[in-house]
Chain A
Amino acid sequence: MDKRSRELRLQVLHVLEKSRRGHIGAALSVIEVLRVLYDDILRYNPSDPDCPDRDRFILSKGHACIALYVLLADKGFFPQEELATFCDFESRLGGHPEHVLPGVEASTGALGHGLSIGVGMALAARMDSKDWRTFVLVGDGECNEGSVWEAAMSAGKHELDNLVVMADRNCMQCYGATSEVQVLEPFAEKWQSFGFSVRECNGHDAAAIGQNLKEAPFEVGKPSMLICKTHKGMGFSTTVDNPDWHHKSRLTDEDLRGLREQLEADT
């Protein structure tokens, strides 16, 4: 893990400090993908978050929002201090992201919605001959939802090469392994057969993610799918690939201290 990934994980722990709750496993799974998007790929302006020519990013697996909040604060969409308000009564930072927060395009968390919204955005951009692009991050567990595949069919039909979808393929969902709950393989072939140009990469390797996303669209006339092979809870030996850390609601001082010590030991 490099310094940037460690710092972002420290910020995740900071978000948890007061709330003592959240979907930790998912946030740690997607953090490198989001880091690359916001560091190197997306076009945006934090001081004008609604500027018409921005790229759109939708975190369809909204429960991974702690990672999104960390990146949005890091880029200046809202003050860093607001991170500590996560799940507070009057906070804009909920357990799932809502569009009231600058930088959040759509309220998500009900799974299976984000890709359809992204298809609509990409279609609208093409109607208006705009060059901004739409990026959507879906979870592999989320791909149990039929609506994901409805949207995939539609993206393929419309040949939306201004749409880039990333799948957080950590092979885990709430109960346990995706293979135990609902087999998804052959995952890449499924997306290919729905009309996507598909690539796979290590979803914790920032350079690999960046290289692939910079080359999107992978094929002219097709939506792109980058399957990011990840580990749920990545970064801590206690959380990695551990379904117990899908969501926590009563984190103790000891839990947080233990996680922080692991990060420090990793430096």
Chain B
Amino acid sequence: MRKTCLKYVHELAKQDGRVVFIGSDISNRDLAEFSAEFPDRFLMEGIYEAHIVGMAAGMAMTGKIPYINTIATFLTRRCYEQVLVDLCMHDLPVRLIGSGGGTVYAPLGGTHMANEDIGILRVIPNMTIIAPCDADEMARLMPLTLDWPHPIYIRLAKGRDRVVSSDEKPFRIGEAIAMREGEDVLLITTGITTARALEAAEQLGNAGISAGVLHVHTLKPLDNEAILDAIYGVSSVLTIEEHRVIGGLGSAVAELIAESDAVGSIRFARLGLPDVFTEELGSQNEILNKYGLSIAGIVEKARDLVGK
């Protein structure tokens, strides 16, 4: 997914002289062609994310479209005030490409896991937040980032994630995609949880539970209309995210439901990481499995919710 994303930054740079790439002391892997072809628009900067975000803001104020890539934790938490004030208050077209959204860097420990990135960015006006489900979807997203007039946070997954998206359904920023229809329970997902939810929905179907999957790649602006439309057709809704349950997709959907006519008539639950700093290392998969985000965990939670 990262490779696809950075390849497209290079493609966009070929198309448009405003595109600039900024890295924060990251590996040159996947970037060598860009740096060779456009050395003047390729900036490999030091380990100072706050400065880089401010600098990108200054470039965007001058007509550039900077794409910044570094590790998601540092690109969201370390420079939060610069993101809020310099990018979002000025509503500038800077693209933050966060490597390792969620638990990708599990073996590196808690300091490197971005399990609150969506939550802390979602509260900032003008911010756009997108978590594609696979590399193919990333390829559909990237061309649209060129002219999107607001800051964007792109949450990168681990890579080599199973491809579940298809070009049969158009990709538009801010529009959720119905991946599967269902009548009993709606699984609302983002990022790589979409693939897991699709498998879980298949197993639920085998058990006589009709499960739909709504892929919310854009967490902000949230596709309220599509989510509410989908909710009105089912009796249970389960959100599934690789993020703490506070502040992310589940919170956003809960807020939507609480203010809708559906409140009180549907069963609702959030599946995600609990409100703790996880202590496990290992792998992304092991962490997700432990906290119920495995396919079996999703099936179990959905069955509990539906009561079947």
Interface residues of chain A, those whose CB is within 8 Å of chain B, are: 52, 56, 98-99, 105-107, 110, 112-113, 115-125, 127-128, 146-147, 150-151, 153-154, 157
Contact = CB atoms under 8 A, between A and B. Distances in A.
A110 B82 CA distance: 9
Nearest to B40: A127
B90 A116 contact: no
A124 B90 CA distance: 17
Given A115-B54, A153-B48, A154-B51, 6 more contacts: A98-B89, A119-B51, A121-B59, A147-B48, A147-B51, A151-B55
Contact of A107 (B40, B81, B89): B89
8 contacts: A99-B90, A105-B61, A107-B85, A113-B81, A116-B52, A116-B55, A118-B58, A124-B62
A126 to B, nearest CB: 9
A151 B57 CA distance: 13
B82 A116 contact: yes
A266 to B, nearest CB: 39
B271 to A, nearest CB: 37
B97 to A, nearest CB: 17
Interface of B: 20, 40-41, 43, 45-46, 48, 50-64, 81-82, 85-86, 89-90
Contact of B86 (A98, A117, A125, A154): A117
B54 A124 contact: no
Taking chain A's interface residues, is the majority helix, strand, or loop, or is none over half, making it mixed?
helix
B86 A113 contact: yes
B46 A150 contact: yes
B306 to A, nearest CB: 48
- The 7 A-B pairs of least Cβ separation, nearest first, read A120-B58, A116-B54, A150-B51, A124-B62, A150-B48, A117-B58, A120-B55
A121 B57 CA distance: 8
A113 B82 CA distance: 7
Give the residue among A56, A113, A117, A153 with the most B Cβ atoms within 10 A. A117
A56 B43 CA distance: 22
Contacts of A110: 81, 85
B51 A106 contact: no
Nearest to A136: B58
B51 A124 contact: no
Contacts of B46: 150, 153-154, 157
B13 to A, nearest CB: 12
A121 B58 contact: yes
B90 A119 contact: no
Nearest to A125: B62
